[in-house]
Amino acid sequence: MDESNGIRLDDSSNPPPEKSSLPGERQVIETDAPALGVQAEESNADQEPKPAERKRTTVRVEYKHSLATRWMHWINFPLLFVMIYSGILIYWADSQHEGLNAHHVYRIGIGDWTLFRFFPRWFYNNLNLKYQLAQGLAYHFFFMWFFALNGIAYVLYTVLSGEWRNLVPTRHSLAGAFHVVLHDLGLSKRPLPEQKFNDAQRIAYTGVVLMGVGSLLTGLAIYKPTQLHIITALLGGYEMARWFHFWLTLSYVGFFLMHVAQVIRAGWNNFRAMLIGYQVVPAQATKREEVSSGQDAP
């Protein structure tokens, strides 16, 4: 009897383990819940990048233009300017006005009717370019060799280095160039594909190389029409070679103006790449580029 009372006393004084453990467990959860919330906030804070880290991951520096490309580009710029300037001196001295040595090289018209004449008298008068034939010939015949050598070196480097793959147009370049024009005019919101040179640039830069070849051949035909009579004959004769040479020069001027306008539009990042070789690529573009190449995006 005492034992049963003892047992009952023990039962009443010591509740069953499972019953006592339930409040204990609830207490632990209640007391640890704030701690877990703090830990969760800390883990989320660790996952979220700090402002400095976000700033570092928004851009990436990429190598765009090689040293050889940059050197030949900037060497060609003053050479082309001197060639055009000296060519204007030669043409002016040969045809001072419409009535003296007037021929069809310098004008736009049909038959004897002239719509526009290159170049108007005020152009030469304001620049003081009259009667400098000897100076124009000396400049032109001297610097043309540097212009030709620099162009040949560029073509050889482009072929041997494999850079031609980024420059030569593809069968889709014509449609791509039309898209670039619409995009630049704000008529198309579709983003341009990520590539070193867009399709319009591929066509333009390849065209400039072909224009350089044409200028070299027509220039040699004018420079030595007797010794290089085969080239002169293939071009249609001496006057026709002058015609081609003159309009190639005007094409250079048109390309140069368009090129400068596009450089200004592209901004400092594009211009800096031609100075130091590197460009800054946005993280969004970097991510698209890595995903398209099959790599994991950061």
Token pair listed for 109: 């018209």
Write down the domain spans for the chain: 1-36, 63-292
Q: For the purposes of burial, counting CB atoms within 10 Å of the CB of 53, is it exposed (0-12), middle (13-18) or buried (19 or more)?
A: exposed
Angle at 144 between CA 162 and CA 108, to 5 degrees: 100
H-run or E-run covering 109: strand 107-110
10-residue mean pLDDT profile of the chain (298 residues): values are 45 48 40 45 53 60 92 95 91 63 65 74 77 89 96 96 93 92 88 88 95 96 94 93 92 94 90 92 55 42
Q: How far is CA 97 from CA 106, 134, 238, in A?
A: 10, 19, 21
Residue 241 CA to residue 235 CA, distance in Å, equals 6
CATH superfamily ID and name for 63-292: Transmembrane di-heme cytochromes, Chain C (1.20.950.20)
* Predicted local confidence at residue 3, as pLDDT: 46
Angle at 249 between CA 276 and CA 164, to 5 degrees: 45
Q: Under a CB-based contact definition with an 8 Å cutoff, are residues 68 and 279 in contact? A: no
* Predicted local confidence at residue 91, as pLDDT: 81
* Predicted local confidence at residue 5, as pLDDT: 46
* Predicted local confidence at residue 195, as pLDDT: 85
